[in-house]
Amino acid sequence: MAILIVRHGETEWSRDGRHTSVTDLPLTAVGEEQARALAPRLAERDVALALTSPRARARRTAEIVGFGAAEVDERLVEWDYGDLEGRTTPEIREDHPGWTVWSGEVPGGETPDQVGARCDAVLADVLARVDVRERDVLLVAHGHLLRVLAARWLGLPPDHGRLLRLDTARLTELGHEREQQVLLRWNA
């Protein structure tokens, strides 16, 4: 049993590498197909609790994979990119050479530690509600947020999420090896 995390399917901005947090974009046709392809793998799981970001792209992905009644959790929104919303990393680097979301400033947005605190709160609530050694939990959300969440599960600082690439509509499993919280499967 595990915490199953799923990044939403493709949107126009995820396809184009644009930082997307508060802009509520729909899935593309490819994104819908990606989610449909993932559905059979989730149908086999014993999911006791399903949570989703309130953004339409995450809610639609949850619906397509068979969890349309997933509970909306505001803490699962994507990293707030503030003034950088809608811009690509190369565009940002024109003004701020070497910038990354993990180590650079995000004017008007969140820091890695702020995102990490949200993820810690989600994980604490999930573990208080479900014994993930016995049943699965599904979280449908966003790329950077879920990378931070995985880092926090592993006991790593939030910015270590930079080491974990996460593609659209992929399944990741966070679980245990004995008492140790581990990564069971990534970006599958």
Residues classed as catalytic: 8, 78
* Token digits of residue 63: 């619906």
Q: How far apart are the first and last CA of the chain?
A: 16
Tell me the residue length of the chain: 188
Q: Which residues pair with 174 in a beta bridge?
A: 3, 183
User: What's the CA gap between 56 and 174, in Å, rounded?
Assistant: 24
| Long-range contact pairs involving 159-167 (C-beta distance under 8 Å, separation at least 24) | 159/102, 159/103, 159/112, 161/102, 161/112, 162/100, 162/102, 166/7, 167/7
